[in-house]
Amino acid sequence: MRDIIKTAAELLTVLRNKKPLVHNITNYVTVNDCANIILAVGASPIMADDLGEAADITAISSALVLNIGTLNRRTLESMLASGKKANLLGIPVIFDPVGAGASALRNEATKTILTEIKVGVLRGNMSEISHIAGLGSNTKGVDASEEDIAAGDALAIAVSVSKKLRCVTAITGATDIITDGNRIAAVSNGHKMLSGVTGTGCMTTALIGAYCGAGEDAYTAAVAGIASMGLAGELAYEAAGGKGTGSFHVAIIDAISRLDEKILLERARIHEK
């Protein structure tokens, strides 16, 4: 088996050379951050959520990212149309079920997307993925609850969901777990200040979309995207953490823009089980 850190680092170089177009139907609170993080890693973002063009934009893209952070029925229709187009054309779909478990509408939307669209990567926090696993959750809005984090077995839940949905599942937290049901990786990069900036989860999903658009292995793409965000948190703290969360926020984008194979090889903390 090739070393996952080396494989992820090489994928970053492929991404920067390929510059894949990544279509995002995403959270309007964080849409600007998602666009900038995709640009910073070397890909090209496009945000098109009107039903009249969403599927057409997906058709010319290398990956599709769906994020229900600011869910409404209008964009849900666009997500379904785009997801079905992506499936038809073999374009990877990355789904972020923000707040799943928090409301009937979010639960309905999550179930519909996972039923009608073949998702390649599912990324969420412990509460969101626990809900999808059918275990119930104590979700705190769009954040994972302390109860779910303390009580849940992230590895077992991620493997179960991956096998059920036949996709890569990533549960992000203090230690991130990524699995395709067979391969399992734990990523321990990151910094606690990341939780103080809105949108870091959305940005992580967007990064996974960029890596998926550059390569063919969704598991490697998910590991690379999550490790990249964790490293960005560490580097941003070193550069600007003492200045406060505003400077830290900007430094995350700076760190991703300067990320390269050498940094990943030297600093990524990824363990395959």
The annotation places the binding site for substrate at: 47, 199
Can you tell me the distance from the alpha carbon of 44 to that of 240, in angstroms, rounded to the nearest whole number? 26
Which of 208, 256, 226 has the alpha carbon at shortest distance from 64? 208
Can you tell me the distance from the alpha carbon of 254 to that of 91, in angstroms, rounded to the nearest whole number? 29
Are 139 and 102 in contact by the 8 Å Cβ rule? The answer is yes
As annotated, the binding site for ATP includes: 123, 172
Q: In Å, how far are 74, 139, 225 from 219, measured between CA atoms?
A: 31, 26, 10
DSSP class of 94? E
Q: SS3 of 105, please? A: helix
Which of 199, 197, 200, 169 has the alpha carbon at shortest distance from 183? 169
Residue type at 68? I
As annotated, the binding site includes: 47, 123, 172, 199
Helix or strand (DSSP H, E) at 38: helix 31-41
Can you tell me the distance from the alpha carbon of 160 to that of 178, in angstroms, rounded to the nearest whole number? 12
C-alpha radius of gyration, the chain, whole number: 17
How many other CB atoms sit within 10 Å of the CB of residue 53?
13
